[in-house]
């Protein structure tokens, strides 16, 4: 598991503004969280889905 603090960890609402995320040479949208040191990104489905009509579904990283 990566260190989840520091300049290399980015959240969509971390207050540091918009940033471009590139995976395999292509820009990616709908990134929820990424760690540039570990090379990990959590990306939401497009379009965003809400099973309960309120909260956006986030894919499980634990399989």
Q: How far apart are CA 2 and CA 50, in angstroms?
A: 28
Q: What is the CA radius of gyration of the chain?
A: 13
Structure tokens at 11: 């959240």
Q: What is the pLDDT of residue 13?
A: 82
Q: What is the pLDDT of residue 63?
A: 45
Instruction: Return mean pLDDT, the chain.
Output: 80
Provide the whole-model pTM: 0.58
Give the confidence band of 54 by pLDDT, cuts at 50, 70, 90: confident
- More confidently predicted of 59 and 16: 16
């Amino acid at each position: 598991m990566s260190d989840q603090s520091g300049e290399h960890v980015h959240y969509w609402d971390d207050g540091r503004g918009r940033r471009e995320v590139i995976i395999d040479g292509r820009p990616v949208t709908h990134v929820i969280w990424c760690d540039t040191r570990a090379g990990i990104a959590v990306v939401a489905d497009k379009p965003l889905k809400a099973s309960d009509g309120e909260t956006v579904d986030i894919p499980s990283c634990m399989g």
